[in-house]
């Protein structure tokens, strides 16, 4: 029997805003493997995710992968804005808006929510599938300091902050943290602006540092570097389909990747099958990263 059974394991998945991104595919794969899955979504999209989860509609989106019977329902869903470590960090004017006034939607608040909903269960898996730049459509030269720093804060530093907050719950569990990166971290990728390439470079550096510090507690930290995929976030970059087609034509496999392939690789990194793997970047990009083709 192959050891991909995650029964009895608990997963916290960030970055689910709808049923069209990597976070959703990963959450479903973890559930299909038997894990209990908790979603920590941006406070402004919790309502959207709730609608997708409503039974009686969207059954196709919720269907479990791997030909399994049944549909995806998380074991908990709550708001988390990863830009804020603690409640006090959330600006007053934001705290009073509809999405933020339900409670503490900081990272600390999300961890408390997880503990309350899971009745104090330890945490085995943390998925970081979050990225944002307010100026994603501006090229690197035109990007403002403020947008650059926001991209770093939301897309990279949040992995450090979330790992730090989760670590006390993960110790002694052979736990696994997985984040999502993109080849633009190391190769100039026109069109991937707003400071996002720098944020991914920082994320990759951070994952190596976190692998060292979390490794002391037996916790692994890895990244999946995905090929371009037309998620909601990617569509805001601009002509994502042109990026997908361009990459597909120049990849060894001559085709685009799917969200399910990213989820499969993530599942591997969360499972005992990868127990000796940490600090790694696993490319799920149809091989594009080995090419020297423009
Ligand atoms: N789509 C691609 O082409 C591609 C390629 C490689 C890597 N990635 C990475 O995959 C990950 C998931 O992105 P996706 O493409 O599936 O898009 P997506 O839109 O489904 O996910 C991005 C998520 O980030 C969340 N988010 C943004 N700011 C946040 C904040 N302050 N607090 C909490 N959540 C916040 C959004 O709500 C959304 O759920 C990201 O790290 C992205 O950079 C995407």
- pLDDT tens-digit profile of 220-232? 999 999 999 999 9
Residue 1: pLDDT band (50, 70, 90) is low
Q: Output the six-digit token pair for 186.
A: 């190391």
Backbone angles phi, psi at 155, to 5 degrees: -95, -20
Distance 75 CA to ligand 1 centre (A): 21
Of the listed 84, 100, 114, 192, which one is catalytic? 192
Q: Output the six-digit token pair for 60.
A: 């196709």
Domain annotation covers residue 151: yes
- Cα–Cα–Cα angle for 174, 66, 224, rounded to 5 degrees: 50
CATH code assigned at 272: 3.40.50.720
Owning domain of residue 277: 10-289
Domain annotation covers residue 283: yes
pTM beyond cutoff 0.85 = yes
Check if the beta carbon of residue 219 is closer than 8 Å to that of residue 262: no
Domain annotation covers residue 182: yes
Helix (H) or strand (E) holding 26: helix 22-32
- pLDDT tens-digit profile of 122-172? 999 999 999 999 999 999 999 999 999 999 999 999 999 999 999 999 988
Check if the beta carbon of residue 31 is closer than 8 Å to that of residue 72: yes
pLDDT at 264 over 80: yes
Q: What is the mean pLDDT of residues 6-29?
A: 98
Distance 264 CA to ligand 1 centre (A): 18
Q: For ligand 1, which residues put their CB under 6 angstroms from it?
A: 15-17, 21-23, 42, 45, 80-83, 129-132, 154, 180-182, 226, 228-229, 231-234
The yes-or-no answer on residue 148 being catalytic is no
Check if the beta carbon of residue 144 is closer than 8 Å to that of residue 236: no
Number of domains in the chain: 1
The yes-or-no answer on residue 100 being catalytic is no
Distance 2 CA to ligand 1 centre (A): 31
């Amino acid at each position: 029997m192959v050891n991909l059974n995650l029964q009895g394991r608990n997963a916290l998945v960030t970055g689910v805003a709808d049923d069209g991104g990597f976070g959703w595919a990963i959450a479903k794969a973890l559930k299909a493997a038997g894990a209990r899955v908790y979603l920590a979504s941006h406070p402004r999209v919790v309502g959207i995710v709730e609608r997708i989860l409503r039974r009686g509609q969207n059954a196709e989106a919720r269907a479990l992968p791997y030909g399994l019977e049944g549909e995806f329902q998380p074991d908990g869903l709550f708001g988390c804005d990863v830009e804020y470590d603690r409640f006090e960090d959330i600006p007053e004017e934001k705290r009073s808006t509809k999405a933020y006034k339900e409670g503490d939607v900081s990272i600390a608040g999300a961890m408390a929510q997880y503990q309350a909903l899971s009745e104090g269960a330890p945490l085995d898996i943390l998925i970081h599938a979050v990225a944002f730049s307010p100026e994603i459509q501006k090229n690197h030269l035109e990007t403002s300091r403020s947008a650059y720093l926001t991209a770093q804060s939301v897309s990279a530093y949040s992995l450090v902050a979330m790992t730090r907050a989760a670590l006390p719950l993960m110790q002694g569990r052979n736990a696994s943290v997985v984040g999502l990166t993109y080849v633009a971290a190391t190769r100039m990728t026109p069109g991937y602006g707003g400071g996002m390439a720098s944020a991914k470079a920082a994320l990759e550096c951070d994952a190596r540092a976190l692998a060292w510090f979390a490794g002391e507690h037996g916790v692994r930290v890895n990244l999946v570097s995905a090929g371009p995929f037309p998620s909601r976030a990617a569509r805001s970059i601009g002509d994502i389909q042109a990026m997908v087609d361009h990459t597909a034509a120049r990849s060894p496999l001559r085709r685009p990747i799917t969200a399910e392939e990213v989820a499969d690789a993530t599942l591997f990194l969360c499972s005992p099958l990868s127990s000796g793997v940490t600090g790694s970047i696993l490319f799920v990009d149809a091989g594009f990263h080995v090419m020297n083709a423009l």
